């Protein structure tokens, strides 16, 4: 499933697997190895980030590419006692939102 998903995503962008692998700093045949070997988590994360999809989508655990796309979360507020958020902190908040939405989707798919 993983190999097929990556191949399809590359084709949707008009790219081939070799060029994507080169852009990500992988060996030319890295994706073909995924037919029989599991990639390292860092490699999987880098690939998901490149295609802007969830790791669950790459692994075939969901058919929803962007887990936040159909989310009912519109606004999230946080109290911060008047301090300004740094760019790094804002990114951490966004990562946490993605994590919570992914967890919600996983529970939904399990029927919990």
Same domain, 2 and 40: yes
Which pLDDT belongs to residue 70?
47
Same domain, 34 and 81: no
Which pLDDT belongs to residue 64?
79
Same domain, 81 and 61: no
pTM: 0.58
Same domain, 59 and 15: yes
Which pLDDT belongs to residue 81?
64
DSSP character string of 28-68: TTHHHHTTTSPPPHHHHHHHHHHHT--HHHHHTS-S-SSTT
Which pLDDT belongs to residue 86?
84
Same domain, 55 and 78: no
Counting as low any pLDDT under 70, the low residues of the chain are 67-82, 111-112
Residue-number span of the structural domain to which 102 is assigned: 67-112
Which pLDDT belongs to residue 78?
62
Number of separate domains in the chain: 2
pLDDT in tens, 19-46: 999 999 999 889 999 999 889 989 999 9
Same domain, 72 and 59: no
């Amino acid at each position: 499933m993983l190999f097929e998903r990556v191949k399809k995503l590359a084709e949707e962008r008009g790219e081939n697997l070799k060029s994507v692998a080169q852009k990500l700093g992988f060996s030319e045949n890295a994706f073909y190895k995924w037919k029989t070997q599991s990639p390292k988590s860092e490699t999987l994360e880098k690939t998901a980030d490149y295609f802007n999809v969830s790791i669950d989508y790459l692994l075939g655990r969901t058919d929803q590419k962007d887990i936040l796309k159909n989310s009912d979360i519109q606004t999230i507020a946080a109290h911060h006692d008047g301090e300004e958020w740094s760019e790094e902190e804002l990114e951490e908040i966004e990562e946490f939102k993605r994590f919570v939405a992914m967890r919600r989707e996983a529970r939904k798919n399990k029927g919990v």
